[in-house]
Amino acid sequence: MATIKDVASDAGVAVGTVSKVLNGQYVSAENKRKVEESVRRLGYQMNYYARGLKTRYTYTIAVIVPDILNPFFACLVYHIEKELYKLGYKMFLCQSQMEPEKEAYYLRLVSQNKVDGIMGITFNENDAYFTGDIPAVIFDRHFRGPVCCISSDNFRGGELAAERLLAGGSRKLLYIRTGSSLSSETLKRGQGFASKCQERHASYEMLDLGDDADFYPEQGILEALKSRMEGGVPSFDGIYTSTDGLALEVIKQLDHLQIQVPRDVQVIGHDGLRRMNRGDYLVSSIAQPVEDMARAGVECLLRQIRKEETEDITILPVTFVEGGTTRIT
Amino acid sequence: MATIKDVASDAGVAVGTVSKVLNGQYVSAENKRKVEESVRRLGYQMNYYARGLKTRYTYTIAVIVPDILNPFFACLVYHIEKELYKLGYKMFLCQSQMEPEKEAYYLRLVSQNKVDGIMGITFNENDAYFTGDIPAVIFDRHFRGPVCCISSDNFRGGELAAERLLAGGSRKLLYIRTGSSLSSETLKRGQGFASKCQERHASYEMLDLGDDADFYPEQGILEALKSRMEGGVPSFDGIYTSTDGLALEVIKQLDHLQIQVPRDVQVIGHDGLRRMNRGDYLVSSIAQPVEDMARAGVECLLRQIRKEETEDITILPVTFVEGGTTRIT
């Protein structure tokens, strides 16, 4: 098995340089690249337990998401794992499934030095775990303490959706959301939407179906839509939903009601999900820059681990994507 | 922090019983349940490095899949993580992205005692890593040595698809596959399909688009379909594809060619994927029992870790699911 000396020799640098790279300390970009290539090529691995006892770094990050059945979370984890691997980190995957207990189990791993940091999406009231000196990055939500928040520009996303619906000829707009109200950042989707409608003096309604409607919300959506129809004619002609999953459910129910999308009603979702995560967009949507968010999150976490300064919150730009459920303008 | 004595006291069992449970040794089901509940309730955690040095068990499993953007792999990982967590194991997620080097990196973790075992889906020629005494479970593929293979009944899946296409009135059947030919088990999908067609004296054709067509295969599929049409009429009226993802691509191209599904051509995919992984089936399909496969895989791996006997291969049953791309029979 390769030793640190083999790596230094292969890379043509000093052993101390290799050591610095492995411990995340500063070396020139060129030397860093050489060392990383040699580490990869020789399959060099430090002795884990020995290293664990000595440096207390595990080169392991725990990533928490509700579950990876949700394609948005799967995309986020996909990019995080790729990014972490590039930097020599392994990744524990924890699917919290909204169980505070399971989240707490993984959060404790940090304080027990079993992982160097934690990142992900949490909807539980685990604020208590984030008050100490734990390197942590949370997407779309603020915590007290030194936790970084990475988000995309949800407010602008809501504005964009309203702009696009209006540009496509819709005049009676409807916003529908489901899910936890804990995620402070994502609530801005509706706020941006309402703000733009007001600015444009457009008629709009805000509908919050709450937590319960998060999975299989068919009945709730159907009733909400039906109650907004008279004589087969809906009181709305443009819908923005808080997620693409919800947009798909809404379109399914509109189809039941024989309302055609986008002819009768335009629909815009949020997230920018693609068919099989690689193909066409599922619906017209506000796309989040998932890869950039993953990269920013990993970078922010590693800065915390190295005790460097970090921003409290990083907001990345969103874009409108055409997915066949809006009229071409 | 809770000690092993606290757990024993909380569970009302002897310390030795707790120790046995934590080390995967046999205790009664009742005591196992009690201990596991107390471990969970008290948030008990063994000292990691100390335990690592002493017992050489890490209670960590590495799970390898090409990537979790593919919804089938995401579903498999989803169920594996849930199952491992129930049994007190943490999970490293490795997305190999078909890179042998990245797979090899994770495979080495086992021999270095950084994980207790490895499971997943591999398409690389890493046979060399599987010849030793490494607890390993691979889905859909055989290896030399003590590696368990978990699969679903691919041959029967192919038969079922042919039966359903014939029952729905199709008479000129076409099988289309893409992807690596390394996965010995999944090749049986086509074999079962051909076998059933022969048994029923049905006309059929086998089309292998190979590895290159695995992602974004639009052009290849369109040309393959076009070359099988004369005067706007296709030479086929029933298609079975090796995956649901491929079925979606095929349907998209049929749509371009103004061939209606299922009126003109029935289509059956394979995997049983659902919209957003929770809703309706994306296409009519041969559904794999993903949750059962995950559970069987975890069980098989833990038996290997405990040095118990295991089956070389476990084959689980598949079912036909209706997804709107076949005619109701």
User: Which pair of tokens denotes residue A259?
Assistant: 């309302």
Contacts of B90 in chain A (CB under 8 A): 92, 109
Q: What is the nearest CA distance from B242 to chain A, expressed in angstroms?
A: 15
pLDDT tops 80 at residue A53: no
Average pLDDT on B192-202 reads 98
Instruction: Select the residue from B39, B41, B61, B93 to test the A interface by mutation, using most A Cβ atoms within 10 A.
Output: B93
Q: Report residue A134's pLDDT band, with 50, 70 and 90 as the boundaries.
A: confident
Helices (H) and strands (E) in chain A, counts: 11, 14
Work out the average pLDDT over B83-98. Answer: 92
Whether A51 has a pLDDT exceeding 70, the answer reads no
Residue ranges per structural domain of chain A = 4-45, 58-152+290-316, 154-288
- CA-based angle A137:A141:A143, to the nearest 5? 70
Task: Give B69's contacts in chain A (Cβ within 8 Å).
Answer: 74-75, 78, 276-278
Using the predicted structure, report yes or no on whether residue B311 has a pLDDT greater than 90.
no
* B56-150+290-316 and B154-288 share one fold: yes
Beta bridge partners of residue A266, listed in sequence order: A238
Residues paired with residue A313 on neighbouring β-strands, in sequence order? A149
User: How far does the CA of residue A78 sit from the closest CA of chain B (Å)?
Assistant: 6
- Of A74, A249, A278, nearest to B68 by CB-CB distance is A74
**pLDDT grade for A128, boundaries at 50, 70 and 90:** low
Residue A75 reports pLDDT greater than 70: yes
B49, B107, B274, best to mutate vs chain A, most A CBs in 10 Å: B49
DSSP per position, A206-232: EEE-TTGGGSS-HHHHHHHHHTTEETT
Highest-pLDDT range among A9-13, A280-284, B53-57 = A280-284
The predicted complex's ipTM stands at 0.82
From A158, A152, A160, select the one nearest A292 (Cα to Cα).
A152
Q: How confident is the model at residue A54 (pLDDT cuts 50, 70, 90)?
A: very low
Residue A180: the pLDDT is 76
Q: What are phi and psi of B88, to 5 degrees?
A: 85, 15
More confident position, B19 or A10: A10
In this prediction, residues A131-141 reach a mean pLDDT of 80
Identify the pLDDT of residue B240.
98
Query: Thinking of the domain A154-288, which architecture would CATH place it in?
Result: 3-Layer(aba) Sandwich (3.40)
Contact list in A for residue B67 (CB cut-off 8 A) is 78
Fold of A58-152+290-316: Rossmann fold (3.40.50)
Tell me the pTM.
0.83
Close Cβ partners of B128 (under 8 Å, ≥ 6 residues apart): none
pLDDT-derived band at A48, boundaries 50, 70, 90: very low
Q: What is the mean pLDDT of chain B?
A: 88
Looking at residue B274, what is its pLDDT? 96
pLDDT for res B99: 83
CATH number of the domain located at residue range(s) B56-150+290-316 in this protein? 3.40.50.2300
**Nearest-CA distance B18 → chain A (Å):** 19
Contact A202, A236 (CB under 8 A): no
Q: Of B167 and B126, which is predicted with more confidence?
A: B167
Strands, E, within chain A: which ranges?
60-65, 90-95, 117-120, 136-139, 148-152, 172-177, 203-208, 229-230, 233-234, 238-241, 266-271, 285-287, 313-316, 319-321
Max avg pLDDT among A56-70, A304-318, B259-273? B259-273
Answer whether B270's CB lies under 8 Å from B250's CB: no
pLDDT of A187-227, one tens digit each? 999 999 999 999 999 999 999 988 765 555 678 899 999 99
Q: How confident is the prediction for chain A on average, in pLDDT? A: 88
Chain centroid to CA B313: 14
- Across residues B256-281, what is the average pLDDT? 96
Question: Which tokens sit at B134?
Answer: 């490494």
**For range B56-82, the mean pLDDT:** 94
* Residue of B73, B78, B86 to mutate, interface with A, max A Cβ within 10 Å: B78
Report the residue from B90, B112, B245 with minimal CB separation from A45.
B112
